[in-house]
Structure 1
Amino acid sequence: MAYHVKIDVSPIYEMLNSFLVYVTKKWIQHLDIGPEWILDVERKLSSNVRAALAPAATWPFDDFDVLFAWAAYKNTTLENQDFLDMLTELSADELFARVSSLMPSLTIEESTRIRNSYVPLLRLWDQHYCRNISEDHRVWLEEDAEEKRILLEKMGPELLIEYATAGVIVEPIAGLNEVILFPTVHNRPINMYCFYEGMMIIQYPVDIPEESEDEPPTCLLRFTHALADPERLRLLRYVSDEPKSLSEMCEELGKEQDPVKDQVTALRIAGLLRTHLLGSNRKEKYSIRPDGVSELNMFLESYIRI
């Protein structure tokens, strides 16, 4: 059964994403902004704000699934503070009802805890960080989302998702009715997914324009970094025949999981691997992405002006 794709865009997603990256340090070594972004933000925040935000680092990571679901199913187009006001004003029952059908294991107590814990910190984050984000970021995200809406009519759901995410494959899955797809800047170049009952959220990265034509584009540097390691090249050749899971790679290649996972991440970030999502159990398989090889040639020829 086919699923429906909704292209969404909102500063609320960027608020949640940037807050997630800051407090959890998740994937920071693989993000374009890198660990130096954390240090830069901390220099700009007062000690009181840093202390107020610090406890969130120990809270359950799955809390963000609830926050993103509330953001995805907001009633209207809201700004950050409007969204936080809405969460504050809803009763515990109303708040829970917003996402209970998407998350059957969520309790009303957990829903209330997440609202009461995160909303004050997100207000601080919006005030001291998000309001200083360049307006250009919002323009880039909105323009990209509009481009994807146009392409959706021409390409269809599956191909559009693969194109937007540079390789994520979401085949029709029993019970999957909707995929909400939205662009992000802070999480580039990775994709992030949230799985729900009957619905998925997929974030895809949007590259910011290069400041100088003389500088190699970031997308080209990802390719050259990924292909600079002979082990990664061997892995690409290995998955060229059929999709393989991480455990299959480790078993068949006789490798430890951590180094193989790092190699897969580098190739995936460069857009050289497809990621096949195998239902809501969060299992994945990987295969070579032919379009990625073509893009490597295109970006290289464009930069060196062949």
Structure 2
Amino acid sequence: MYSIKIEWYATYECVISLYAYLHEKEQKYARLGTAWKKETALMLPAAFAKELEDERWEVLHRLVLLIAQSPAKESVEGFLAWLEQIPAGEIYERLAPWVDTIPLNLGELRDHSLSLLARWNEHYFAKLDPALLERLQKSADELAGKAADVSPPELVDEATQGIWIEPMADLQQVVLIPQYHCAPASVLDFHRGLATCLYPVADADRRQADPLLALLPVTQCLADEKRLLLLQYLAQKPGTLTELQQHVGLAKSTVHHHITALRRAGLIRAHYAGSTAISAYSLRESGIERLPTLLREFLHESRK
């Protein structure tokens, strides 16, 4: 059985926030919505915003690994200063045990990442409400408090509301990191013997939990006939994407859209077995049983 490591530093959120901005089209169902990118672009110098329009920055998982190993990860500025001074050869040595393919131009990639992150931190991330970051830290602390009482797969499932990482002989550790900017999605990556999972904290921007924010994705899922049929199928047995597609008779891309919505609403589990490819889906009983509680919390809140 793999072990669990739970940690949070602002440096992780700085990286994931820039990633969310650059990959906004892939985040169309994100909690922040499309308006966030437009509002954020106005905070940036015009030349920087223009530069980011064509930037894809596909090195997120490598930077997460470097943050995890950095002795200066407590602050964004400290991490960037550390990354700037270490030679490309040391970056290679730090990544080699985990990453199969490492680009030869590590020095150039490092310098480019430093430039992007330093400017992003100055013009956007450093101006975030500190309370948001404190709530992410609180989420990590609360999750750590539960670690002794549940199994590692159950803890991952609870943090992500539906990601189930199967124990594998070559999987040694899963690192759980709370994040806000890509919520309700989780950002999951597997490396040699290691998986990193940036799990969503969708209400980190609020002083207290919003019952509607938790209830709405569930009720929206249940209002669709095809999604109900998918839930009914999974109530009988786990299924692959192909099996689910055959059951409802829709295009695979359409079924994938429905499945993603059900997973992010916490109604089903996506099972991973050593890679980012989902091996199967199953019903998440705890998500189903939670519906009456969510409804009662919302109705009670609405009377205030």
Matched, 1:162 2:157: yes
CA distance in 1, matches of 2:205, 2:114: 35
Specify the code of the residue in structure 2 equivalent to 1:17. I
CA distance in 1, matches of 2:243, 2:113: 39
Tell me by how many angstroms 1:77 deviates. Answer: 4.0
CA distance in 2, matches of 1:142, 1:281: 26
Change (3 A) 1:79 1:292: same
Look up the match of 2:185: 190
Change (3 A) 1:212 1:4: closer
Change (3 A) 1:26 1:118: farther
Q: Is contact 2:171–2:193 with CA below 8 Å preserved after alignment?
A: yes
Q: Is contact 2:11–2:76 with CA below 8 Å preserved after alignment?
A: yes
Look up the match of 1:80: 76
Change (3 A) 1:143 1:38: same
Q: Is contact 2:72–2:78 with CA below 8 Å preserved after alignment?
A: no
Secondary structure at the residue paired with 1:5? strand
Q: Is contact 1:183–1:206 with CA below 8 Å preserved after alignment?
A: yes
CA distance in 1, matches of 2:31, 2:244: 27
Tell me by how many angstroms 1:110 deviates. Answer: 4.3
CA distance in 1, matches of 2:190, 2:207: 39
Specify the code of the residue in structure 2 equivalent to 1:149. A
Q: Is contact 1:20–1:26 with CA below 8 Å preserved after alignment?
A: no
Alignment of 1:89-104 (within 5 A): 89-104=85-100
Change (3 A) 1:276 1:143: same
CA distance in 1, matches of 2:211, 2:65: 37
Look up the match of 2:212: 217
CA distance in 1, matches of 2:248, 2:120: 45
CA distance in 2, matches of 1:11, 1:212: 19
Tell me the percent identity: 28
Secondary structure at the residue paired with 2:275? helix
Alpha-carbon displacement from aligned partner over 1:94-137 (angstroms, at most 9, x marks no partner): 11111111013224x14333212211011110000001111011
Change (3 A) 1:171 1:211: closer
Look up the match of 1:21: 20
Specify the code of the residue in structure 1 equivalent to 2:257. D
Alignment of 1:122-137 (within 5 A): 122-137=117-132
Specify the code of the residue in structure 1 equivalent to 2:49. R
Matched, 1:241 2:272: no
Specify the code of the residue in structure 2 equivalent to 1:228. A
CA distance in 2, matches of 1:71, 1:124: 18
Specify the code of the residue in structure 1 equivalent to 2:230. L
Specify the code of the residue in structure 1 equivalent to 2:65. A
CA distance in 2, matches of 1:205, 1:74: 23
Look up the match of 1:293: 288
> Which of 171, 178, 181 is the equivalent residue of 2:176?
181
Name the count of aligned residue pairs. 301
Q: Is contact 2:11–2:73 with CA below 8 Å preserved after alignment?
A: no
Tell me by how many angstroms 1:209 deviates. Answer: 6.3
Specify the code of the residue in structure 2 equivalent to 1:3. Y
Specify the code of the residue in structure 2 equivalent to 1:19. L
Q: Is contact 1:278–1:285 with CA below 8 Å preserved after alignment?
A: no
Q: Is contact 2:230–2:248 with CA below 8 Å preserved after alignment?
A: no
Unaligned runs of 5+ in 2: none
CA distance in 1, matches of 2:286, 2:217: 15
- State TM-score, norm by structure 2: 0.93
CA distance in 1, matches of 2:120, 2:93: 26
Look up the match of 1:284: 279
Unaligned runs of 5+ in 1: none
Look up the match of 1:11: 10
Q: Is contact 1:96–1:112 with CA below 8 Å preserved after alignment?
A: no
Look up the match of 1:56: 55
Tell me by how many angstroms 1:34 deviates. Answer: 0.7
CA distance in 2, matches of 1:260, 1:45: 38
CA distance in 2, matches of 1:284, 1:25: 27
Change (3 A) 1:142 1:216: closer
Secondary structure at the residue paired with 2:203? coil
Specify the code of the residue in structure 2 equivalent to 1:16. V
Q: Is contact 1:52–1:121 with CA below 8 Å preserved after alignment?
A: no
CA distance in 2, matches of 1:55, 1:206: 28
CA distance in 2, matches of 1:210, 1:32: 11
Alpha-carbon displacement from aligned partner over 1:1-45 (angstroms, at most 9, x marks no partner): x11110010111111111001012153211110111111111222
CA distance in 1, matches of 2:47, 2:72: 33
- State TM-score, norm by structure 1: 0.92
